[in-house]
Chain A
Amino acid sequence: MSDYGFSTLSVHAGASPDPATGARATPIYQTTSYVFDSADHAAALFNLQTFGNIYTRIGNPTQAVLEERMAALEGGTAALAVASGHAAQMIIAHALMETGDDFVAARQLYGGSVNQFAHSFKKFGWTVHWADATDPESFRKALTPKTKAIFIESIANPGGIITDIRAVAGIAREAGIPLIVDNTLATPYLIRPFEHGADVVVHSMTKFLGGHGNSIGGVIIDGGSFNWSASRKFPTLSEPCASYHGMRLHETFGNMAFAIACRVLGLRDLGPAISPFNAFMILTGIETLPLRMARHCDNALKVAKWLKEHAAVDWVSYAGLADDPNYNRHRTYCPKGAGAVFTFGVKGGYDAGIALVDRVKLFSHLANVGDTRSLIIHPASTTHRQLSPEQLKAAGAGPEVVRLSIGIEDADDIIADLDQALRD
């Protein structure tokens, strides 16, 4: 299949006609459970000795098509879809870390991830050390003997930083730990992190993958490249597993062991399963991912160029602009486009930012990105308001900052709306 193109995989990977009915669209298997053929079959399923469905908290056929499609689009070995992007991050951390361990994450992350890592993970005894996404060496400096992973966003939300994935991957490799890349804002259409040395990719599918602003979901994709048994740092993968009669997951499942561990331990025990309906909605969205992403990126570039010339605008931070500090990394990592989420600074600071979001008529003022619709938000007063002023600045969300997620409407209409809203 490796010779099929990205658009073909977006439509087809993982899906085949339903064996029961011949239905060509993937059915929504709205069931909690699946019958066993015999006691023997049930035992083999529970012992992970054979493949099959047991219970929808662990897997569902609609979800499985979505998982396979995402594994194919990212070029990984296997995937696990879960209830949200945050659930995916939680399950990854649960597979990699024991109480007392730590990980290094870029400071420039989606604000919700900053909260999750700094506060909620602390309750599990997992400590985050922050590094600077624009300075790969800062990741090396933050490593400790207890560090179990490095976490970055390929395109950082909302700062628009494009991370030098290869440089950070090199540091992770030398340290013998996996590089986890949140590829939400890029999607595999723009960046395929495994090609640059990532070991695990995670997405909030709530954004461009689903693409229509109608379903929450997350996914973990296993790159199959990491040797979990090379050290004793990852006992969940390399050591006998008490809840599976002493099975060693890496030895048993090889280059898809991470995805399987996330399913049969994290998802099984923590429980954030994706609903079959949401899996179906996101799967349908992915069919048009390449078409939408091309349009999102085209529109975003037009809007960014236009804003840059506007008298009420102080600055525009979009990697697609030739004088942007991220422009070269955009050409290296995502030449097809710099994404559709970016920030700009309005003259007049906090108050001007709030005024702008009140005046738009086409843009929706809401806390999401990656919708067909154009979206606007003032992070300092909304998504990022839990952060301290220093954290706000570090996350690229100062008082004057407005974040746009450019939709797939006509670019002229998007620009006209901003034009009327920026006039006082």
Chain B
Amino acid sequence: MSSPLTYSEDYIAGILRSVKTIAMVGASANQIRPSWFAMKYLQEKGFRIIPVNPAAKEEEILGEKVYASLADIPVPVDMVDIFRSSEAAGEIIDEVIRLKEKLCASVVWMQLTVINHEAAARAEAAGFKVVMDRCPKIEYGRLCGDIGFMGVNRRIIDNKRKPLGAGRGALSRNALGQGKGQL
């Protein structure tokens, strides 16, 4: 239907390899929301996730303090991950652009079904790498092999034996996408 967005493996793997701290806008303490389990999974993989949600009643989600806005975050973040509607993403991205110096972020990531081409173009013009309509949890799981259990096309060919237990939780982040066949 809608023409699918395509990103190269190197682009996605490059982002996931370089990023360490992620501000998650629209993070939720509700355990059935995708944001909650994306946060949990990414934490297990060694990322620090800083939840941003003005409506959250909780002080903390998964052990991290919740901030009401991006401007309140006191530490540098590498990436802003947006769990909001495509329309709402526009304003959030403008704020990310305004806060570029303070946040030190270089990546704007929009979650599955979140697509805002105009805002993406503004972010790119401001020097950000942009991803739309993807989930970093799924992309990470795909690239490190976890998600192979679900019949997902990981687009990887692999001739090496993985260490035992590597399929789940134990893969080191630098194993991500070293290039063809090397994963």
Among B119-151, those with CB < 8 Å from A are 133-135, 138, 141, 145-151
Residue from the list B3, B153, B157, B162 in contact with A76, Cβ < 8 A = B153
Cross-chain contact A254 with B40 (CB below 8 angstroms)? no
Cross-chain contact B164 with A12 (CB below 8 angstroms)? no
Report the Cα distance A213→B41, complex, angstroms: 43
Report the Cα distance A80→B148, complex, angstroms: 12
Question: B164 to chain A: closest CB distance in Å?
Answer: 5
Task: Name the A residues within 8 Å of B138 (CB-CB).
Answer: 253-254, 256
Query: CB of B172 within 8 A of chain A?
Result: no
Taken residue by residue from 1 to 16, chain A's Cβ proximity to chain B (1 for < 8 Å, 0 otherwise) reads as 1111000110011111
Query: CB of A18 within 8 A of chain B?
Result: yes
Task: Name the B residues within 8 Å of A67 (CB-CB).
Answer: 151
Cross-chain contact B151 with A64 (CB below 8 angstroms)? yes
Cross-chain contact B1 with A227 (CB below 8 angstroms)? yes
Interchain Cβ contacts within 8 Å, total number: 142
Task: Name the A residues within 8 Å of B1 (CB-CB).
Answer: 173, 176, 178, 199, 225-227, 230
| 9-residue interface stretch from A49-57, A129-137, A155-163, A293-301 | A49-57
Closest to A178 in B: B1
Report if A78-B4 is in contact (Cβ < 8 Å); known contacts: A1-B9, A51-B141.
no
Task: Name the B residues within 8 Å of A1 (CB-CB).
Answer: 9, 154-157, 180
Report the Cα distance A147→B113, complex, angstroms: 24
Report if A44-B37 is in contact (Cβ < 8 Å); known contacts: A199-B1, A225-B1.
yes
Cross-chain contact B154 with A225 (CB below 8 angstroms)? no
Cross-chain contact A19 with B148 (CB below 8 angstroms)? no
Among A241-266, those with CB < 8 Å from B are 244-247, 250-256, 259-260, 263
Closest to B150 in A: A51
Task: Name the B residues within 8 Å of A224 (CB-CB).
Answer: 4
Q: Give the total of A residues in contact with B, Cβ under 8 Å.
A: 63
Residue from the list A16, A78, A244, A250 in contact with B160, Cβ < 8 A = A16
Report if A47-B37 is in contact (Cβ < 8 Å); known contacts: A68-B153, A225-B1.
yes
Task: Name the A residues within 8 Å of B112 (CB-CB).
Answer: 250-255
Report the Cα distance A8→B155, complex, angstroms: 12
Task: Name the A residues within 8 Å of B40 (CB-CB).
Answer: 44, 49
Question: B63 to chain A: closest CB distance in Å?
Answer: 14
Task: Name the B residues within 8 Å of A260 (CB-CB).
Answer: 150
Task: Name the B residues within 8 Å of A229 (CB-CB).
Answer: 113
Report if A50-B32 is in contact (Cβ < 8 Å); known contacts: A19-B161, A71-B153, A173-B1.
no
Question: A234 to chain B: closest CB distance in Å?
Answer: 11
Task: Name the B residues within 8 Å of A20 (CB-CB).
Answer: 164
Query: CB of A79 within 8 A of chain B?
Result: yes
Residue from the list A71, A178, A226, A247 in contact with B152, Cβ < 8 A = A71
Task: Name the A residues within 8 Å of B166 (CB-CB).
Answer: 19
Question: B145 to chain A: closest CB distance in Å?
Answer: 8
Task: Name the A residues within 8 Å of B34 (CB-CB).
Answer: 247, 251-252
Cross-chain contact A78 with B161 (CB below 8 angstroms)? no
Closest to B158 in A: A16
Question: A57 to chain B: closest CB distance in Å?
Answer: 14
Cross-chain contact A19 with B163 (CB below 8 angstroms)? yes
Cross-chain contact A53 with B149 (CB below 8 angstroms)? yes
Question: A214 to chain B: closest CB distance in Å?
Answer: 22
Most buried by B among A71, A230, A255: A255
Cross-chain contact B37 with A49 (CB below 8 angstroms)? yes
Question: B98 to chain A: closest CB distance in Å?
Answer: 28
Report the Cα distance A63→B134, complex, angstroms: 25
Cross-chain contact A254 with B157 (CB below 8 angstroms)? no
Beyond A1-B9, A71-B153, A247-B32, 20 additional pairs, beta carbon < 8 A: A12-B159, A14-B148, A19-B164, A20-B164, A44-B40, A49-B31, A50-B37, A59-B149, A59-B151, A64-B151, A65-B148, A68-B152, A71-B151, A80-B151, A173-B1, A176-B1, A246-B32, A252-B34, A254-B138, A260-B150
